[in-house]
Amino acid sequence: MPLQDAIEVFSKHESYASVSEEQRGAYQREYLALREYMTLGSESPEQQIYERFPGISCAYTDAAGREKLKYNGLADKENGIPVNGNTVFPACSISKFVTAMTVMKLEEQELLNIDEPVNRYLHQWKLLAADGKESDATIRSILTHTSGIVDGDDSFYGLRRNDHEVGLLDVLEGRTPYNKRRTVSEKQPGTEFEYSDAVVGFVSCDDFHAT
């Protein structure tokens, strides 16, 4: 399928098309930015994508069960450094898929209950409600983006070049160069869909304990 056609299909299935920009969240804004970028200039869509994403890598398992790694393009356009097996890429929302599978495996093993408040499994760090008290948001609501969490702009943006290293708790607490907003359940859990990148944070942090 041509790239432009793929974007059109995505647009038709986009559930936030009629929602205000403020409610769409960072994910929708990134999509709109990509769509706008694709319509500018005389370059082909493929060339425009290459200009924006000059290097890629792909890891997969083939039909024979062999692990494969392929990469192409540049990791550093300015210095002409190619992508190789040591190039680091942001995991982005692929981590949500892995996180969800891990959580459901723990549920299957009866090591946690996704319908219980996530704070039951958090000890050092707690998810707070808008009133400053512990939120009753469940793991299920976090996984389904209905926990009431509203991400700040760029709150889960990948580290830029020359940024100092930050930990996951720094991100959740809003102690990063690009986000000063603590992750809080601002709305009543279960009442509204709000896409959030914080879903990965709770289960991935060292503070999360399944028992």
If you write DSSP's letter for every residue of the chain in order, what string do you get?
A: --HHHHHHHHHHH-TTTTS-HHHHHHHHHHHHHHHHHHHSSSS-HHHHHHHHS-EEEEEEE-TTS-EEEEEEEEEETTTTEEP-TT-----TTHHHHHHHHHHHHHHHTTS--TTSBGGGGBSSS--EETTSSBP--BHHHHHTT-S-B-PPTTTTPPPPTTPPP--HHHHHHT-BTTB----EE-S-TTS-----THHHHHHHSTTB---
- C-alpha separations of 173 from 34, 107, 115, 152, 184 in Å: 29, 27, 24, 12, 9
pLDDT digits (tens, 9 = 90+) for 120-156: 998 888 999 999 999 999 999 999 999 999 887 766 6
Q: What is the pLDDT of residue 16?
A: 46
**Whether the predicted model's global pTM rises above the 0.85 cut:** no
Q: What is the pLDDT of residue 147?
A: 92
pLDDT digits (tens, 9 = 90+) for 53-105: 788 888 888 888 889 888 888 888 888 899 998 888 877 778 888 888 989 99
Q: Quick one: average pLDDT of 10-39?
A: 53
